[in-house]
Homo-oligomer: A and B are copies of this chain.
Amino acid sequence: MYSLLPNLRVIEAAAFVAGPTGGLYLAQMGATVIRIDQIGGGPDFKRWPLSAAGDSLYWEGLNKGKQSIQIDLARAAGRELAVALATAPGDDAGLFLTNFPVEGFLSHANLAARRPDIITARIMGWADGKPALDYTVNAAVGVPDMTGPVDGTRPVNAVLPAWDLLGGAWAAFAMVSALHRRRATGEGAEIRVPLSDLAATSLSHLGFAAEALLHGDRGRLGNDLFGAFGRDFVTACGARLYLVAITPKQWRGLVAALGLGEAVAGVATGTAADFTADEGARFTHRALLFPLFEAAMAARTLAELGPALDAAGVTWGPYQTLGQAVREDARLFTHNPQFQTIAHPSGLTYPAAGPAASLAGEARGAVRAAPDLGADTDAILADVLGLDSGAIGRLHDAGLVA
């Protein structure tokens, strides 16, 4: 972790991917992130993937470096504690991240009544409050209908919850942005981050939505890169690579590395296309170009190709399974300084990652594990709410905290 946000205190009451991801990103940049956990764990405390002993690798991945207080949120007095934590005073506090419903005891209005300058960020499904998850939003915006083999008839769902991850980053970004305003004007903010709007706005920003409106649906392209040159190819030794060339420089490098200058020039003459200057022409005429590259790749081994492609500055990558990558890929996992091998709440010791962004020239700091549930309950009650040991003991006795 880094210390860009060293004094910030964020209260998180969140499950599923997006909310905890936002809290994780804030913690990785130095904020103190306090998770309010239902006693015994919230709805995602046992989410798959699990360890052999049944502990959630997912939960302990998403909650690294946070603190945990266990509260019985089913009882009014427990809910009051949660509200008190979220609204506790301090210039660097009053930041609340959640996926609890818009209405209810953790509503913005309810919290703002206690602390008018509070900044809340709420991950939502649909913007109108109806339930949605990454998978259902993705189905609704048509990404599965664009994914997979050209002749496929069944939509292909994404394995990666991209809207969730983006939602976490957006929540973190919007919260620290709102804090800039609060420091200038004293105003709080109610930030809402619906997965449905993340999807719709992203497809607008990328031009996908305008394209669909103006030209109709793109259809499935298999692994072909839309609008330039890119696809998977198989080498003589059976390795599969993704080759891509978008800029003129990338294209020239690729054609030269594979010795295809003459053959590509022939296609260019036949089609009156300028493949170097016009990246789109490489897509338009890919049925003519791809066979040349298939043959060139099939005639070379990965051992020959790798250095040649690198020397030519080609953008390419081998396909690996994640298992291969985590065990063998030095740049991604085994020697990536992002990763530190630490002990987790599951009792297992394995490598875990720090923040995606690096601050060059600054110490990365330790990657800290997720907390045990309630690991910080007493300290939080004392430090944030100012309770003495007697009051804390009574909360334990009443079963309100653990």
The residue in A47, A48, A280 that gathers the most chain B C-beta atoms within 10 A of its C-beta is: A48
A4 & B327 in contact (Cβ 8 Å cutoff):
no
Q: Which residues on the B side are within 8 Å of A327 (C-beta)?
A: 213
A355 & B205 in contact (Cβ 8 Å cutoff):
no
Q: Which residues on the B side are within 8 Å of A269 (C-beta)?
A: none
A338 & B162 in contact (Cβ 8 Å cutoff):
no
Number of copies of this chain in the oligomer? 2
A interface, size bucket: 35 or more
Among A122-130, A377-385, A392-400, the stretch in contact with B:
A122-130
B202 & A356 in contact (Cβ 8 Å cutoff):
yes
Those of A257-280 within 8 Å (CB) of chain B: 278-280
Among A68-76, A187-195, A285-293, the stretch in contact with B:
A187-195
Partner of A128, one of B146, B202, B244, B331: B331
Alpha-carbon separation in the docked complex, A206 to B230 (Å): 28
Partner of A25, one of B140, B147, B165, B173: B173
Q: Which residues on the B side are within 8 Å of A387 (C-beta)?
A: none
The residue in A47, A57, A178 that gathers the most chain B C-beta atoms within 10 A of its C-beta is: A57
Interface string of A66-90 (1 = CB under 8 A from B): 0000000000000000000000000
Q: Nearest residue in B to A140 (C-beta to C-beta)? A: B317
Residues A358 and B197 in contact in the complex (CB < 8 Å), given A242-B139, A321-B217: yes
Those of A81-118 within 8 Å (CB) of chain B: 108
Interface string of A322-352 (1 = CB under 8 A from B): 1111110101110010110000000010111
A142 & B206 in contact (Cβ 8 Å cutoff):
no
Q: Which residues on the B side are within 8 Å of A193 (C-beta)?
A: 356-358
Q: Which residues on the B side are within 8 Å of A19 (C-beta)?
A: none
Residues A207 and B57 in contact in the complex (CB < 8 Å), given A145-B322, A166-B166, A280-B50: yes
A48 & B228 in contact (Cβ 8 Å cutoff):
yes
Residues A43 and B176 in contact in the complex (CB < 8 Å), given A325-B141, A359-B190: no
Those of A1-57 within 8 Å (CB) of chain B: 3-6, 16-17, 21, 24-25, 29-30, 43-44, 46-52, 56-57
Known: A48-B283, A169-B169. 17 other contacts (CB 8 A): A21-B205, A25-B173, A47-B227, A47-B246, A49-B211, A49-B218, A49-B226, A57-B210, A58-B207, A59-B207, A108-B360, A126-B331, A132-B317, A136-B244, A146-B322, A155-B240, A162-B162
In the complex, the 3 A-B pairs of residues with the closest C-beta atoms, listed nearest first: A48-B227, A136-B317, A142-B322
Q: List 25 A-B contacts (CB under 8 A).
A: A3-B181, A4-B181, A6-B181, A25-B170, A57-B210, A62-B207, A64-B205, A135-B225, A135-B242, A135-B317, A142-B320, A142-B321, A143-B159, A149-B154, A157-B222, A162-B165, A162-B166, A166-B166, A173-B176, A176-B177, A191-B359, A202-B356, A210-B352, A216-B323, A217-B322
